[in-house]
Amino acid sequence: MPTRLIPYVKAVVHLLCLAPLFLVLARYRSGALTLLADPVNYITHFTGNWALWILLVSLAITPLRRVHPRLSNLIRFRRLLGLYAFFYASLHLATYIFLFSGYDLASAWDGLTHGHPAEVWRQGLVIWPSILQDLEKRRFIQVGLLSWVLLLALALTSPQIVLRKMGGRNWQRLHRLVYVAAAAACIHYWWLIKAGVRTPLPDTLILTALLLARFVWVLRKPGVPRTDSKPRSGVRSAVLAGREASSSQ
């Protein structure tokens, strides 16, 4: 991809990643969402699915770059995609807290617009015990939250300045946790569905394929010692991505 096109492609990627959010907002405004029997369930699955799908796309970038040198500047989109995955994962978490757990948004909003802002907090106190119980008892909640916390850590350390402060190798070590986050997201999905349902299977197979691609790549380059003075390709790409990102700003 010619470098001069990258800003334009980035704009397109932004629009594509925001499209699901705009779609759901448009459906809310048109009333179509309220006509659905269970819009909360719809929003929960919608945000969860898009978080996982965008995360999988971001994980596809590294294997794709290795296919052909001309694809190497796909790296410029990896952080962007990762942050959007975190964005949808956060919407997913917010759906759980504010729509799923019994938080009365209407009362909170009434309080807010009628001079009783404490209502927002009071509603939180109402649902807190059930959320705490979910965290204690329900493994699909635990593993889902783990995935979000990992993505949060990666999002917080994603700016170029943090990468420089941490050093490329440490930064890369931390960001390998994205595999754990993706696997946790898939497990979260498997643990919440009913027996006999296999809807998480396509996502799980894609994740497995992406991880296998990396594994094969490592096996094919056995001779690179860890103490090699040259920065390894992963670090280099991360540093490169940061450099290019900062130069394009």
Partner 1 sequence: MSNRNTQLYGSQIPSSEITPHSVFETGRPSRRAFVSGVGALTASGLLARQAFASDALTTVPGKFQVTDPQTPLAKASTYNNFYEYGIDKDLPAKNAHTLHTRPWSVQVSGLVKKPLTVNIDDLIHYRPLESRVYRHRCVEAWSMVIPWDGYSLSEFVNFCEPLPSAKYLQFVSLIDRKQMPELPDGFPWPYTEGLRMDEAMHPLTLLTFGCYGQTLPNQNGAPVRIVVPWKWGYKSAKSIVKVIFTDKQPATMWNELNSEEYGFYSNVNPNISHRWSQARERRIDGGFPHSVATQMFNGYGDQVASLYAGMDLNRYY
- Which chain residues interact with partner 1 by CB under 8 A? 33-41, 101-104, 106, 130, 133-134, 137-140, 191-192, 194-199
Q: Is the separation of the CB atoms in 52 and 42 below 8 Å?
A: no
Least separation, in Å, of the C-beta of 205 and partner 1?
Answer: 17
Least separation, in Å, of the C-beta of 226 and partner 1?
Answer: 42
Least separation, in Å, of the C-beta of 133 and partner 1?
Answer: 7
Cβ proximity to partner 1: between 196 and 223 the closer is 196
Let me know if 69 is exposed, middle or buried by CB neighbors in 10 A (0-12, 13-18, 19+): exposed
Cβ proximity to partner 1: between 200 and 242 the closer is 200
Least separation, in Å, of the C-beta of 13 and partner 1?
Answer: 29
Least separation, in Å, of the C-beta of 34 and partner 1?
Answer: 5
Q: Is the separation of the CB atoms in 171 and 241 below 8 Å?
A: no
- Report DSSP state, residue 230: S
Let me know if 52 is exposed, middle or buried by CB neighbors in 10 A (0-12, 13-18, 19+): buried
How far apart (Å, rounded) are the C-alpha atoms in residues 99 and 114? 21
Least separation, in Å, of the C-beta of 57 and partner 1?
Answer: 24
Measured at the CA of 24, the angle between CA 21 and CA 25, to 5 degrees, comes to 85
Measured at the CA of 239, the angle between CA 236 and CA 243, to 5 degrees, comes to 130
Residue 179's SS3 state is helix
Cβ proximity to partner 1: between 90 and 142 the closer is 142
Cβ proximity to partner 1: between 199 and 208 the closer is 199
Positive or negative, the Cα torsion across 77, 152, 200, 173? positive
Cβ proximity to partner 1: between 170 and 199 the closer is 199
Q: How many CA atoms lie within 13 A of 24 on its CB side?
A: 18
Cβ proximity to partner 1: between 198 and 230 the closer is 198
